[in-house]
Structures are given as C-alpha cells and as structure tokens.
Structure 1
Amino acid sequence: MSVAMRALLCCALLPLSPLSAAERSPVVSTTESPVKAEQLGNGHWLIDFGKAAFGNISITPASNREKGRMTIHLGETLSGDRSINRKPAGTVRYQRHEVTLNPRGPVSPRLSWSPPNWMKEGFLDLPKECKEEVMPFRYAEIEGAPPGFSADQVKRVSWSVAFDEKASAFESSSPELNAVWDLCKHSIKATTFMGLYVDGDRERKPYEADVLINQLSHYCLDARYDTARLTHEYLLEKPTWPTEWRLQSVILAWHDFLWSGDDGSLRKNYATLKARAMITRRTPEGLFQGWNKGDITDIVDWPAGERDGYDMKPEVKTVVTAFHYRALVLLEKIALQLGKAADAKEFAAAAEATRQGVNARLWDEARGCYVDGLGSNHASAHANFFPLAMGLVPQDRVPKVAAFLKTKDMACSVYGAQFLLDALYDAGESEYALSLLSSRGQRSWLNMSEKVGSTITLEAWDPSLKPNLDWNHAWGAAPSNLIARKLMGIEPLEPGFRRFRVKPQTASLENARIKMPTPKGPIFLEIQGRDASAWQASLTVPAGTVAEFHVPHVGEVSVQGPAEATPVGDKNGRRILGLGEGRWKLSIKG
C-alpha cells in the first residue's frame, strides 16, 4: 500500500470533530402553520409552508384515540407539482422518516445531518436551544395519515436568532425589485439558525466572506449587532483559508464599530486585527504578494468558474492587493479611535504607497482598466470592480472603469455581486446597477426564486454554474443591504449613526420607500419622481442623529422641516444638506 493511500485511509478513519463556539446569539423557535395543504388521496397530503426555514414538523393527534404510523417526507423542492423531490441534485435537502402518532402529544421525525464526506472537522454543533436536529425545508408530504386527519394538526417549528420583522421594510414601483428584497430579507433571518452566520447547511461553518454580506444585510434589516460580532470574533480565532477573506476581518471589525457605535471588540482584538493586514507580504512597490497554494490561498471569487477568466498565475493580484489596501485604510481609522497615533500614521503611509503602486503598476491606460496582476495582460471584471469598491480608483479613472464594467454584465458570483454593485453605485451608475438587481437573467436573484424555485438565496446563481450548490446560502442575499445602503443611499458616517449619509440613487424608479433600523431608532425615507421636476423626498431623522442629505438633482432645493437645513456643500451642482432630528420634506423648485 502506498504512503498516500495509507494517509487517506487514516484520515477516513478519524472521528468527525464538530466544534462548539464559545458564545453565540440565542436562537428562538417560531411555530408556523401551513399556507397551503392538499389531500392527494387516502391518507396522502402535501403541505406547503410557503417559504423554507430550518426546523422540524410537529404533528398533533386530533384526539387521544388517534393512532397510526405515517411516512413523512420533508424537502426544499418538488418533483412536478404534487410530490417532494426524493432525489434532489447537489446538496438540496430531502429526508424521509417514519413516525407513529402518540395520543399523549405531538410527535416529530428524528432528523439527521452529517457534513460532506470530505469535511472531517470545523463544522459547528447545533446551538444549545435546539434539543433535536433541524433541516431546511418548505414542503412536507405525509403518507398513511389516519382517517379524519387534518392539515391543522401539522405545524413547523423553525429556529433563528430573534428577528423583528417590523424593524425594516422596503417597497418600490418595481415589482421585480420588491420580490428580490423579500427573498433576501427572509434569507438573512432563516439562515441564522446556528446562532452564528454559517456557510449554508452543507458545511455549517462560518467563513469571513459569508459573514461580510450577512453582517451588512442583517444590520439593514434589524438593529442587532451581536450575531455578526460573535461570528467575526469566532473567525479571528479560527480563520479560513482564502487570503482575501482573512483580510476581510478588518472590514468586519470596522463595520461592527461604525454601525453599532461600540468599540469594545476593536479594543479587545486590536493586535489580531493588525496581524490580519499581513504587512510582511508587501512588495517594495506597496503591492501584496499572495499565495497560489498552501494553507492560505488567493481566491478572487468562488466558484472558480465565476472569475471572468481571471489570471491566477501572478502572486501579486490586483484583487488581493485591493483588499490589503482597504484593510490598511480601516486600520488607520481603528488606530485613531483607540488613541494609537503612531500606528495610524504607519497604516496611512502604507495605504498611500499601495494606492500609488496599484495605479502605477496595474493600470492599463490604453484599455482604460486594471489588469489582473503584476505581469498579466488579462483584464477581468474583478480586477476592476474590487479596486473601485475598495476606494483605490482615482476620480478621473472612475468613468473608464465603470464603462469597462458595463461591458461585462454580471460576470461574477453571488459573492462578487456585493462588490460589483457597490462599485457601480459608487461610480454613479445607478441605472445599470438597478438593471442587474432586477434582472431575470441566469445570473440574477429572480432566477433563484422564479426559475430555480428557492425561497432562500442560493449558494450560486444557478445549478448549472455550481452542481453541488445548496439552497440556503445567505451570501447570496446582498440586495438586502445594497438596496438600503446604495439604492436608497443610507449609510453611517460616524459610529452608531450619530451622523449618516442619505444619497438616494433610485434611477428610473417612480417611487421607493424604506424603513431602516439604527441604534438610535428607525430612519424612514421615501423618494418620488424620476426627474428633477417631479422629484420629492420625505426623510425622518431619529433623535440624536444628523443626516447628510445628497440631493440627486441640480437645482434650487425647497426644504420643509423642524429647523433650518445646514448647507454642507455641493457636488457637480447637487446640494448637500445637513438635516437634524425630525421629519423633513425636500423638492426641487421649478
């Protein structure tokens, strides 16, 4: 037997090693009734709960005399219209169990879960509140139900962190955009069943890139910061393998402070955060030398087929360097917050050297875009939208990069879409960004719900692009933060929303309104009208905060509110106004 074969067999014989996180957000149960039930035949029922969630079903006998053994099928998808798919592809979930009605009370099937066959450790135990196994499912099919059985006897008990459904709301003149918001909002809630953000049901393990999208999306939906913070701190102790995702720990830390206003985690973890910038990997030009193999490896995007042909050969990659730059910029801010002026000065100098190095060494002036890495001639979408999203692109190059990106369509994964759309909105390309958000193409959120049929966002755009995808991956739910942060334009400028920006970019929408939670209370914003002549805005600023409102049109602004608006400046003829607490109405004078 070869050494390699012996090692493989030894690994296969090792016991599986689940991990228990030191601390998690408490999870709570919700009991739900079916939204639809159909009796297919004698004792045969199909139950639909409307949306998938992580939990189990509970069946209560109609009387203390009702008995009988039933077969229960639970699944995320149907085969045809009236039967749960018994052999779904990829890691789409299905389980079959036998249960016996018990006159003494409700019964539930004994569900099971196991990690993929290659995963021997790193997955999490269920949180302590869950006494029995759970699975994601929308449908229940029952065979062998006794005479007189009713769908009223069936409930689903699902688990998630506490989630205030009324804390956020969004509605617009686009039914497509509204459907995308609804899909993503439910996805963020449903996938918190572990008390930490995890990589779907297949692995049940946190990854930094998932957490980044989960974090911003959860913040925009409910003013709770504990789940993101605890998952981030868990990953500081147990980082994952992609280079950029380790660099993202600094971004996660900054978001936690900026949105919540609490710097306790920064103070506790400052030394670890400094190390995450991996300063020793800098080249003399300020670029970042990554890894093409080993325990730490550059990833760019995932799955690999969604990299737009990215040239992975250079060790100095534009995408990885962009994340390094962003980590340095944020470490300067963190150091200043913690009173470490000398550190802040060093981080600022390093960030500036990186900015200059990227723009001198990785820019192709003839094509008006960035190349994939040092020595590469290939220019992918990723080599351009990541630098734009990370603030690396000089203002005079932004139109060229945006024009290049508009030739690419959605040339990235659901993870990459977070940064692509951030970049497009930052470049002022709101109409194109809206077209991607509301698209029905293969790489779209409506493809997930309308064509594939999932009610939680997928791990990838379509099964054809990742055959082993799962149907419960919150890193696909970026629109729940992109709509709030970029389309409606609400983002904190000072910790805890003491000061926040409102920069609406509603493009061709006739109207849009949002309720967005903050630590100070909800922000309400309503926009009407596409053109300056019809444009109006209504904004409610919570007590203890100040809004910096960027009027999206040129012209004289009419302002009605509890006090005088404070002029902050203007940009290309568009006014920027300071608005204190209270309700404000703005319009453009004709």
Structure 2
Amino acid sequence: MPTICKVWFEHHKDRTIGIGVGRPRISWRFGGYDTGWVQHCYEIEVTREGGEVETHSKYSDISSLVPWPSSPLASGEKCAIRVRAWNQGSSDRTQWSDTATVEAGLLSHEDWKCSLIEPEDPYVRGPPHRPVVFRGEIALQKVFTSARLYITAHGLYAARINGTLIGDHVLAPGWTSYNHRLVYQTFDVTDVMKVGCNTIDVDVGEGWYCGRIGFLGGRNNIYGQSIGLIAQLIIRNEDGTKICTGTDDSWEWAYGPIIASGLYDGEHYDARQKISSETVWCTSRCLPLTDNLAAPEGPPVRRVMTIPPKQVIKSPSGKTILDFGQNIVGWVQATIHGPAGANIIFQYAEVLEDGECCIRPLRYAKAQDRLTLSSEETLVWEPQFTYHGFRYVQIDGSLGPIQKDDFKGVVIHSDMERLGHFHCSNELLNQLHQNIVWSLRGNFVSIPTDCPQRDERLGWTGDINIFSDTANYLYDTAGMISQWLEDLALEQGEQGTGIVPLVIPNVIEGFEKDAHAIWGDVAIMLPWSLYIAYGDSSILTRQYSSMKAWLASIPRKADNLWNYTSTWKLGDWLDPAAPPEDVGNGRTDPTLVADCFLVHVTSLMAAISTIIGAQEDARQYAKSASELHTVFSKEYITENGRLVADSQTALALAICFSLFQSEDQLKHAARRLSSIVIQSSRFKIATGFAGTPYITHALSDTGNENLAYRMLLHRKRPSWLYPITMGATTMWERWDAILPDGKVNHEGEMTSFNHYALGAVGNWMHRVILGLRPLEPGWRRFKIAPVPGGDLQWAEGSHVTSYGECYVKWAVKPSPSANAYQRFTISVRIPPNTSADVHLPGKKEVEFVQSGTYTWETDFMPDTWPPRAEESRFVHADDEL
C-alpha cells in the first residue's frame, strides 16, 4: 500500500503558522509506487482547537488543493489534520497520514491592537538610516499555555525575546510592494516567554523600505523616510483569558552595534557598541497602522546551507582572498580574533581578473562588510541586514594569517522545496544544470531578481517570464511567485493604464510608462506557467483582471498588431550579435518579436477564459487570436514559409507559437532554421531573451533533435557550455561575459555572473533529454518521451509533483542484433493517483500506464553524431565541439 507522506495547506510546504485564509485548501502526496493505484475516496480528520474531532469523507480522486471541509478558521485558531485514502475498485486504504497542523494568522485589520513605532530622531530617518534596536517589556502574572508574536517592519528586522533569537528567517519580512501590502510573520514564542518580566529586542535596518535601491546611484526612501516596527504579542493564559500587547509609546529605541547596513554597500558592525547597561534609550513615536498588513503566501528567506572556502589565495598585489569554489548568494560568517579596535573589511566579488577581485561589475554597489573588534576575545560574526553575490572574498585588516576553517559561506534564498533533478553521462551538461540551479537559488531572494550582486537586484518581469517553466520544474515556486504576481497586479493597477512596469516592485521611475512585449506579457504567461505546473486555477482567476488590462494596454496599428509608441524596444534582449552598448539592437526585428508574443498571449487568453468560465471573453479572444494569426502571416511570412526576419529567434518563435498557416510552410521554416543553425551560425547560439527559451524546442519539435543537441553541446562562444569551459558555476548575463583570455568583457558594465534568464534551456533538458512534461495541469497525467542524442550514454532525473515523485532513467548501448542500431533501456517510476504516456524512441506505439515501476527495452536508429556544416570540403574550426 502507498502511504500519505506529506500533507500541506495552500502552497505552504513547511511549518504552516500564520496562514492568511480561513479556508485553506489541503493537498497530500503519496509515497510508494503500487501498481495501478488510483484514489477513489478520501477521509479528512479535523481536530479543532477545543478538542472536538470532525471526520469528512468524500468520493473523489482529487488529492491536490482539496477544499477546506470544515467551518472557517478564526484569527489565531489552530487545527490538526490527518488524511487517508482508498484505492479504486478495492477496500485497500492507506494508513492515516502524520498529523499536519495549520494555524490562521490575523485575518482582519481589527485584530491588530498595536501601533507602528519609529525612532524619534531626524538622523535615523536619513538617508542613510543607521539601524536601531527597539525594546519593549511585558510582565506576565499568570501561567500561560501559548504565546504568538506577529511582527513586521518598515525595513528588515531580527527579533529576540529574553536574549533568544526568534525564528530562522533572514531579511524578514521580505520585499513586497509596501505601499499596497506589507507582509508580517507569525512565530510561536511559547517556549521563550516566562512568567515575570520578558524583554523583547528587535533590530531593524533600512532594507528595501528606505534603503538605496536601483542602478546609476539608485534612490533612497522610496516607501518612507524612516525605519519602523510593528509587533504584537497574543498570550493565552491557562485560565482561558487572553493578553494582547504590542508596539506602543512604552517601547524605546537605541543605537546598537550595527553602524550602517545597506543591501548594496554592506554592513558595518562595531562590537564596541553592543547594547549594555550604559546604553541610552530614547522614546519611540507612535503612528497608526495602515490596513495593508498581509500574511505571506510563500516561504521566507532562510539560511539554507553553509559551504567552506576551497582555498586561500594570495593575489599578485599581496591581498588575501578566500575562494569558495562556487558563486553563491549570502554572506561570510567569520570566527575572528584580533586586537581591540581592529577593523576587518570583507570585499565580495564574483570573479577574479588578473588574479585580483574584480569589482567593476558591481557598479555603484560597494559590497563590503566591515567588522570592528572590541577586545581580544574570539568573535563569531555575520551580517544581519545585507546580502551579496560572490565566489571570492578579499579580507583586509589587522589579522594574522588567515585560516580558511575560520570562515563559512552562508547561502540564502527563499526556502522553496526542491522538486526537480537532472544528471547524465556528460559532465559539462551536469555542470550547466548545476549552474542553472545555483542561479535560481541566488536570485529567488524574496522576489525573483535579475542578479544578486550589483546595484540592481530588481524584479525584472522579462527574466522570470522566460525562465518560469525551468524554475517551476526545479523548485516549488507557487507560493513565492503567486505573491509576486499579486504585487504585479497592484502596481499595474496603480498606473491606471494597464501597462505592466518592467520591474516589480516598481521602484524605477519611468519603467511603467511604455508597454514592452515579453516583459509585460508576464502578466499572462507566468500565471499560465504556474497553472500548468501546479494545477491551481485560482491563480488564473485572481490574475484575470491584470491579464485583460495588459492585453488592452498594448498600442495597436489598424491591423491590431503592435504599434510601438516609444523608440526604446527591448526585443530579443542580449542577442550575442547586438552591440555591447546597445544590447536591445539584435538581428531580429523587435516589432516582429512583439507580434509573435501578441498572437501567443492572445491565444493563451482564450484558453484561460475558458478554464475560469468566462465564455464570452473566450469567444472574443479566440476570434482575435485567429485574426492576429492571419494578419501576422500577411505581414511577416511569405507564401512558402520564409520569415522577413531570417534569424534563429524569429523562426523559433514562429514555430513554437504555431504561426505558420500550413504544414508546407512549417516544413519550409524548419528547413530554413536548420540551415541557419548549420551554415550561418555553425551550431552556435544566436538568440537573446526572446529566442533562447524556444530555439532548442523549435529544432526538436520539427524533427531536428540532433541539431538541438549539437547546439546545446557546443563549447565555443556564444554557447551554453562556453562559460563552463571558463570556470562558471552560475549562469552569466551575457554569453561572453569573460573573454578567452580571462578578461571581463564590456568593461564590467552590465556584466553579471549570476543571471538565470539564459538558463531557460533547462526546460528543454527536462522535457527532451529526460522526456518529462505534464499533459494535464499539475502533473496528474504526464508524458515520458526521452530523446537520446549527442554523446549521451545515459540520463536520469525526477520531478516531485503534488502526487509523488516521477522518475526516469535511460541508457543506450550498441544493440547485439544489428550494428547500426542502439539498444535503449528505460526505467520509470510513476506515483499513485497519476498516469503516464510513455513514448520510446523509434516506436509509434504509446505505452499508457498508471502508477507503478516499469522497464522497457527497444532498438532504435540514432542520428549521425556529430552533425557538421558541409558547405565546404574543409572542416571549419567552429564545427568542432
């Protein structure tokens, strides 16, 4: 029998305390691979806080996002849930799952009984804003049974009660569109409170709220001119009474040991200024709460691992540099011993140039942490309110010889559940996949950012739009991205035009004035990507007004295609052929790119409208998509199927978005794309943001998988593997960010070494090399259709769905029956309550299977490897892998 190995609520996969809805949906995941196991009935046991037990049964095969079966939770109410399920056609049932608990947060604004407090000091309101410590005291006279802390800040906070750090979050409360929604966290603090006097200390730094954000110097005080704190304690006594207290005019503030802390510039900690009996405390000023407090929808940012330095380097100039061997996001934890008053500076950098830390790509970000020692005692220290993107850390200051064991790299990101894995016989591809994973980790820090190191780190809409399918396979992004999309709709609505700002939260002035394809299309494409990955149609319903507003905001010509009203077009951003100083000026007409996506998103809107029951809209969008398809063809496609923009990107988009009018046109386009890849590009990548997610799919979808493999495995620039040959451990922003001679390209301007966007090829690796893709939203039914190719001898991988883990491993070797054939072996595992269509290479028949473990073998005829450009009797140097 399978087991129910995990139960969760909404999209919260870990500790569910402080959930923001009274009727949270319930999901459960199965363990085991019993053959043909299909749920036909489930039973949910609900134990309410007073001890009453309810049992709710239903004949249903649904085990994901099941509606809440009981009466709604009240604010602060806690419930315990167990689930079991029955197999279709038998009396077999699972054991009860382990108990999962869910606790509501403060569901109404009226539940908040505290104030916003700020330091009453004009200097603290900066900029810059020196972090402060807020302190409150609460005396408990009775024995209590539970204590909850509800807390957030105008800035970033770290709370301690009676000296104990509360929670394991970092950079809390995270970054949202603060003018619309300020997320709070809920903590169970029962074990750290005591009868008698309790002291609550909360450090608060400027963070995203009033710190410097943006490039070219950025801006301060975007959301307000002072840091602040909101905190509320609710104590339930043994006798049934309740105490509610929080930030008010009795709270005081003081300066602590953090002298300065900015997200870009780093943190300065002076151990000589720790809070002590001599600290001067000042009165806080109270302000009324706004009604924008909201419970989080996704996981918090946490320390997820630490890694040791690989080596200590002496640079040519004599500097001491730690090399962590991996480009990571977070900071250094240091165990330091030195003389009182000594200053130690940690300079963070992603790469070395001429053996020294290369900080030019940081632009206006200093990326330095500074520690001032107070005594000869050993101090274990790490920053609280900043983070960095780095592989290397230069250490300057009054220290003796550096021992690498005294330092750790602390890795942080939004603590999402890892879902997908990939491994194969080609180590360069394994490293590429690892680089994609590391760049996702480093740029999913509260919001999906473009880069983690320089004076930017913004929620660029285009980056996540093209990367979302890859991200959704690798991690459970549903909660985090859903929350970000809610901010997108709020920021978009604030403009009143329907235009989607280029960054969310919208902190760059002017980025909301012009509509841009791909970047604005995120309003439609990203909710759709989440729906396909996780099967939650409520995201489509919630974002529907945003989708419609975006589509209506697009400026149109008389034929309803794009009519750009600005001369600035992002287009196929970062096409490797574009001039370094004008990276939007690629080889593909940006208006054609925009029109390709316009037809695509209009077609998606017809499907989305149907799913949510907006039938009249569905008819209108379907009609509009059909008309756009026709006018696009007239504008850009010849009768034979030639595109006016004869490029990898144009052809890939037209193929993947089904823009050709006939099968003959499609075949002609496929031949032309193959010719460009072989003869013109010589298997190198020639796409930017628009084309990169689609180029390999366009090749494999038209029967040219061998060329897709050839392009993927190319090692000369521009290619996916060139950065790996240069030592990259994350994805680069530019295809040639480091030149073959080791020099940083483009003088370090707009040269990030941790950008996930071009890692969108991971989606092809998952869907084609492994062959895993959903056939129904949420992976209830999925496809296994691996395509062996290149020099790969085997590949294996998995994806954890809401139902359980899908696993595939295949291998090829010479067939004993015929020399020209290969023997293909595949093993798969299909979780309970799902089914799969299995396609074997060279076979037309499809294996339809339900849950279980299966193995097949077959002979197939592989393509000749490697394919070469044959226009000359001489082999061109770029033909070499």
What TM bracket, shorter-length normalisation?
0.7 to 0.9
Going from structure 1 to structure 2, the CA distance change for 1:552 and 1:14 (only over 3 Å counts) comes to: closer
1:16 aligns with 2:220: yes
Matched, 1:88 2:373: no
Change (3 A) 1:429 1:416: same
1:368-397 Cα shifts (integer Å, max 9, x gaps) = 42124xxxxxx3333221121222234333
Contact 2:308 2:324 in 1 (8 A): yes
Determine what percentage of the aligned residue pairs are the same residue: 21
- How far off its partner does 1:161 sit? 1.1
Structure 2 CA distance, aligned partners of 1:341 and 1:438? 46
1:173-572 maps to which residues of 2 (within 5 A)? 173-193=425-445, 195-201=446-452, 202-238=455-491, 239=500, 240=502, 241-278=515-552, 287-293=560-566, 298-303=569-574, 305=578, 308-311=586-589, 317-365=591-639, 368-372=641-645, 379-393=646-660, 394-406=662-674, 407-408=676-677, 409=681, 410-413=685-688, 416-451=691-726, 453-463=727-737, 464=745, 467-508=749-790, 509-529=792-812, 533-554=822-843
Tell me how far apart the structure 2 counterparts of residues 320 and 38 of structure 1 sit (CA, whole Å): 49
Structure with higher helix content: 1
Separation in 2 of the partners of 1:281 and 1:36?
A: 53
Per-residue deviation, 1:244: 3.2
In structure 2, the residue matched to 1:100 is 372
Give secondary structure in 1 for the equivalent of 2:795. strand
> How far apart are the structure 2 equivalents of 1:589 and 1:492?
26
In the TM superposition, residue 475 of structure 1 has moved relative to its aligned partner by 0.9
Residues 322 and 394, structure 2, Cα contact 8 Å, conserved in 1: yes
C-alpha distance in structure 2 between counterparts of 1:233 and 1:347, whole Å? 23
Q: Which has the higher contact order (CA 8 A, sep 6+)?
A: 1
Give deviations 1:349-381, integer Å, cap 9, x for gaps: 222222233334421245x42124xxxxxx333
In 2: Cα distance, 1:283 partner to 1:380 partner:
24
Q: CA deviation at 1:108?
A: 4.2
Q: What residue in structure 2 maps to residue 58 of structure 1?
A: 333
Q: Which of 848, 858, 861 matches 1:578?
A: 848
Q: Which amino acid aligns with 2:797?
A: I
Aligned-pair CA distance for 1:222: 2.2
Once the two structures are superposed, what CA deviation does each residue of 1:280-331 show, in whole Å capped at 9, x if it has no partner?
Answer: 756665x51231517xx6432113716652345xxxx332222112112221
Give the length in aligned residue pairs. 519
Label 1:93 to 1:428 Cα distance change in 2 as closer, same or farther (>3 A).
farther
Identify the residue that residue 405 of structure 2 maps to in structure 1: 152
Query: CA 1:89–1:299 in structure 2 vs 1: closer, same or farther (change >3 Å)?
Result: closer
Residues 101 and 107 of structure 1 are in contact (CA less than 8 Å); yes or no, is this contact kept in structure 2? no
Q: Which amino acid is the alignment partner of residue 531 of structure 2?
A: F
Tell me the secondary structure at the aligned position of residue 200 of structure 1.
coil
**Distance (Å, rounded) in 1 between the aligned partners of 2:352 and 2:522:** 38
Tell me the amino acid that sits aligned with residue 57 of structure 1. Answer: V
Quick one: structure 1 residues 258 and 98, their matched pair in 2 at CA, closer, same or farther if it must change by over 3 Å?
Answer: closer
> 2:310 aligns to what?
36
Closer/same/farther in 2, CA of residues 97 and 331 from structure 1, 3 Å limit: closer
Structure 2 gaps of 5+ residues are 1-215, 225-291, 492-499, 503-514, 738-744, 814-819, 861-881
How far residue 588 of structure 1 moved from its aligned partner, in angstroms, is 2.3
Q: 1:179 to 1:338 in 2, by over 3 A?
A: same
Contact 1:33 1:156 in 2 (8 A): yes
Asked whether the 8 Å contact 1:54–1:137 carries over to 2, the reply is: yes
How far, CA to CA, are the matches of 1:280 and 1:138 in structure 2? 42
- TM-score normalised over the length of structure 1: 0.79
State the AA in 1 paired with 2:360: P
Give the residue type in structure 1 aligned to 2:722. Answer: N
Q: Is 1:143 equivalent to 2:399 in the alignment?
A: no
Check conservation: 2:485, 2:543, Cα contact below 8 A.
no
The structure with the largest alpha-carbon Rg is 2
1:559 is matched with which residue? none
Specify the code of the residue in structure 2 equivalent to 1:332.
Answer: A
Per the TM alignment, residue 272 of structure 1 is displaced from its structure 2 partner at its CA by 1.9
* Residue 338 of structure 1: how far off its partner (Å): 1.1
Is the 1:66–1:146 Cα contact (8 Å) retained in structure 2?
Answer: no
Q: Hey, what's the Cα distance between the residues in 1 that align with 2:690 and 2:457?
A: 18
Is the contact between residue 505 and residue 552 of structure 1 (CA under 8 Å) also seen in structure 2? yes
Structure-2-length-normalised TM-score? 0.54
CA RMSD of aligned residues (A): 3.2
Matches of 1:370 and 1:269 in 2, distance apart? 34
Quote how far apart the aligned CAs of 1:249 are. Answer: 2.0
Amino acid at match of 2:609: A
Alpha-carbon distance in 2 for matches of 1:163, 1:98:
31
Q: Check 1:223–1:303 CA distance in 2 against 1; reply closer, same or farther (3 A cut).
A: closer
SS of alignment partner, residue 277 of structure 1:
helix
Q: Deviations over 1:536-564 (max 9, x none)?
A: 2211112121112222213xxxxxxxxxx
Partner Cα distance (2:308, 2:217) in 1: 43
Distance 1:143 1:39 in 2: 13
Q: CA separation in 1, counterparts of 2:333 and 2:686?
A: 43
